[in-house]
């Protein structure tokens, strides 16, 4: 849908100086103190999906007009993606009161994404597709591995090559350009060896501006892929089948402005449902798309809690005194999401009986286990498999989060644990959960964010 008031929005857009505000976001030096056990009550409002907003921001590079994205959460990752777009020449304004992000990518005068930013945010690599499709050339650093695994980008690269790009990797940089006399990428048949979310998104975005038809077989079916396709369609792209394993894109020469609302975050929603279950609480969450949470709801029901759909976009969790074990195995959507594995394991640690947890998506996603065990859980890990023997209760301890979802898992455990937990790792949590502790505090949880610098000063003064 083209924007009717491009010019008005344009006038509101600040220059690159605005994006400097993003750069000066405070570095997270805080710890979180959590007092448990908590009992929660009330309604939690769910933010827009981080994993939709990030590729959506990259997709605005495809448009030569001004794009408005709504329900964009205020998160560190969004700030970094904003800085990447800004480094390419886009002008950005994030109104954090209305969760609206205006991106003017009419002028893109750089084709290289800075390493300093890409290394902090793997998803910013996904911008390679739009940069290449729009400018015919792109230089994006390899993002490298991260706390949960090696995370290669070979499927992105091979797909771009199939679309006619010349790609060579040297000195840690992926250099891609449209080869020969062709000005546009060329439609192609692409089979993904694995239904990678990011590769599907990179290639779908690149193919929107390609000449001819592209078919992506074995595509990822995640709701965020479908959301990205809907955004591109609203910008004038021809995309069919997003949300299924076969996506067909018929390229167009140009995409236009858009005003688009990001879907609710299913991972944040699932995390709050688990918060309700682990604290034996009656809570509601909205807005959500209940269908996106099917696997998580089904497993919550297996452990004994009830999840009822109150309205088309809200869910209520009714607690159960007795929580029973269940098995989970992570899989691409519509299977159980890997991003919910750690938070769900926190819940299983207090379910009676023995639960099996198998991680199949990432190779190194069990680092929360040792910290959960320090809180009294009884979990044994072998490779990508965990055996969780339920314990009657957890006890508070100093804990460290190693990645985003591991951190969420530890916070959930702390809500149920007796005593004062000190959590380190807010830099991970703040990447992907908007005001997690403030939302939980409203329901009755007891948190305090403590500035480490202040703590040190107090300590020194008392020596
Ligand atoms: C996205 C999500 C992340 C989620 C993951 C799986 C974003 C910003 N992040 O990450 O939260 O956990 O989907 O649902 O949307 N792989 C390759 N080669 C590639 C690409 C991927 O081997 O070129 C492998 C990965 O190493 C991993 C598996 O495929 O083992 C799945 O990764 P992928 O679906 O690509 O995850 P992301 O898009 O990075």
- Per run of 10 residues, the mean pLDDT along the chain (length 463 residues) is 34 34 51 96 97 98 96 94 96 92 95 94 94 97 76 94 96 92 93 98 98 98 98 98 98 97 98 97 98 98 96 96 96 98 98 98 92 97 96 96 94 97 93 94 94 53 36
pLDDT given at position 452: 74
pLDDT given at position 15: 31
pLDDT given at position 89: 96
Using most ligand atoms within 8 A of CB, pick from 361, 363, 365, 384 the residue to mutate for ligand 1: 361
User: What is the spatial distance between Cα 195 and Cα 178, in angstroms, rounded to a whole number?
Assistant: 25
Beta strands, E only, 298-440: 306-311, 314-318, 328-329, 354-358, 378-382, 385-389, 398-400, 419-424
Among residues 217, 214, 220, 216, the alpha carbon closest in space to that of 197 is found at 220
In angstroms, what is the span from residue 153 Cα to ligand 1's centroid? Answer: 9
Sign for the pseudo-dihedral over CA of 428, 432, 435, 436: negative
Cβ atoms 30, 422 nearer than 8 A: no
pLDDT given at position 57: 98
Residue with tokens 């040190």: 456
**Equal CATH topology for 29-47+264-451 and 50-261:** yes
User: What is the spatial distance between Cα 25 and Cα 181, in angstroms, rounded to a whole number?
Assistant: 44
- State the maximum Cα–Cα separation within the chain, in Å, rounded to a whole number: 72
User: What is the spatial distance between Cα 204 and Cα 242, in angstroms, rounded to a whole number?
Assistant: 9
In angstroms, what is the span from residue 394 Cα to ligand 1's centroid? Answer: 32
User: What is the spatial distance between Cα 63 and Cα 404, in angstroms, rounded to a whole number?
Assistant: 31
**Ligand 1, atom 1: closest residue by C-alpha:** 197
State pTM to two decimals: 0.92
pLDDT given at position 144: 64
Among residues 21, 26, 29, the alpha carbon closest in space to that of 425 is found at 29
Using most ligand atoms within 8 A of CB, pick from 120, 160, 198 the residue to mutate for ligand 1: 198
pLDDT given at position 182: 82
Angstrom distances, CA of residue 388 to CA of 73, 379, 446: 34, 4, 27
Q: Which residues are catalytic?
A: 146
Residue spans per domain, the chain? 29-47+264-451, 50-261
Looking at domain 29-47+264-451, its CATH architecture is Alpha-beta prism (3.65)
For the CA of 338, the nearest atom of ligand 1: 12
Domain 50-261: top CATH class: alpha beta
pLDDT given at position 307: 97
What three-state secondary structure class fits 45?
Answer: strand
pLDDT given at position 373: 98
Residues in contact with ligand 1 by the CB-under-6-Å rule are 51, 54, 123, 149, 151-156, 194, 196-199, 220, 224, 338-339, 361-362
Cβ atoms 356, 382 nearer than 8 A: no
User: What is the spatial distance between Cα 64 and Cα 134, in angstroms, rounded to a whole number?
Assistant: 9
């Amino acid at each position: 849908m083209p924007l009717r008031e491009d010019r008005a929005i344009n006038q509101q857009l600040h220059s690159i100086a605005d994006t400097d505000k993003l750069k000066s976001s405070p570095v997270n030096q805080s710890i979180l103190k959590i007092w448990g056990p908590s009992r929660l009550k009330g309604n939690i409002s769910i933010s827009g999906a981080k994993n939709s907003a990030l590729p959506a921001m990259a997709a605005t590079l495809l448009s030569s007009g001004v794009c408005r994205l709504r329900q964009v959460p205020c998160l560190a990752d969004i700030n970094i993606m904003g800085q990447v777009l800004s480094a390419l020449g886009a002008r950005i304004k994030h109104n954090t009161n209305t969760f609206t992000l205006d991106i003017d990518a009419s002028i893109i005068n750089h084709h290289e994404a800075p390493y300093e930013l890409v290394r902090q945010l793997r998803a910013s690599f996904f911008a390679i597709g739009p940069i290449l499709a729009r400018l015919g050339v792109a230089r994006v650093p390899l993002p490298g591995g991260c706390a949960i695994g090696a995370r290669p980008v070979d499927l992105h690269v091979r797909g771009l090559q199939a679309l006619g790009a010349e790609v060579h990797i040297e000195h840690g940089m992926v250099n891609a350009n449209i080869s020969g006399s062709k000005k546009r990428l060329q439609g192609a048949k692409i089979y993904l060896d694995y239904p990678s979310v990011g590769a599907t998104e990179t290639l779908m975005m690149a193919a929107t501006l390609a000449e001819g038809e592209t078919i992506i077989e074995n595509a990822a079916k995640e709701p965020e892929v479908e959301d990205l396709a809907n955004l591109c369609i609203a910008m004038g792209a021809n995309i069919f089948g997003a949300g299924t394993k076969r996506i067909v894109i018929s390229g167009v020469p140009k995409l236009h402005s858009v005003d688009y609302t990001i879907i609710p975050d299913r991972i944040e929603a699932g995390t709050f449902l688990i918060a309700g279950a682990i604290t034996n609480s009656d809570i509601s969450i909205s807005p959500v798309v209940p269908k996106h949470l099917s696997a998580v709801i089904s497993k919550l029901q297996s452990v004994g809690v009830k999840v009822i759909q109150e309205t088309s976009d809200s869910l209520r969790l009714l607690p159960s005194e007795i929580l029973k074990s269940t098995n989970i195995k992570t899989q691409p959507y519509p299977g159980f999401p890997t991003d919910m594995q750690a938070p769900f394991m926190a819940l299983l640690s207090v379910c009676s009986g023995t639960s099996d947890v198998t991680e199949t998506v990432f190779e190194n996603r069990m680092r929360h286990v040792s910290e959960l065990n320090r809180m009294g859980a009884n979990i044994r890990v072998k490779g990508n498999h965990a055996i969780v023997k339920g314990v009657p209760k957890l006890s508070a301890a100093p804990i460290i989060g190693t990645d985003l979802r591991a951190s969420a898992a530890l916070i959930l455990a702390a809500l149920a644990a007796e005593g004062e937990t000190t959590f380190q790792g807010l830099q991970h949590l703040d990447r992907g959960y908007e005001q997690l502790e403030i939302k939980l505090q409203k329901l009755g949880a007891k948190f305090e964010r403590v500035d480490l610098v202040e703590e040190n000063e107090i300590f020194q003064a008392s020596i």
